[in-house]
Amino acid sequence: MAQRTASQLYFDLIRLFKQWPIDKSKTGRDLGENLRQQFSQAFVLGENSQVDCNKWNHFHDNMKLLISNDIKNRYQRDRNWTASGLSREQLRFLLSNKSLQANKDFMKRMK
């Protein structure tokens, strides 16, 4: 892929982050939220930041693949199932902060 300067990376990454949703049910644990924090720490001075362009070019290219669902679209699945047998909605609920807190509270009562 093409090598971009820090300034180009800054604007290209902002464009990609706009396409990446944040899961409000996983505040503090969401991948998109953590990636944004890494970005903001590295690009403290915005487009004038001095960053490792090779690292951030690689990050940009990988992030673009994730957002575009390139791998998912290239290797279609016959079925949409999980190892647990639960649906996507059930898994989303179980992994939410609300559900995890309820499990912690339950375990405290069990002691």
Residue 9 CB-density burial (10 A; 0-12 exposed, 13-18 middle, 19+ buried):
buried
Domain spans in the chain, listed from the N-terminal domain onward = 1-76, 81-110
pTM over 0.95: no
1 band by pLDDT with thresholds 50, 70 and 90 = low
Whether pLDDT at 107 is above 80: no
The pLDDT, as a whole number, for residue 10 is 94
Specify the pLDDT at position 37: 93
Q: Which of 98, 107, 102, 87 is nearest to 29 (CA)?
A: 98
Averaged pLDDT of the chain: 86
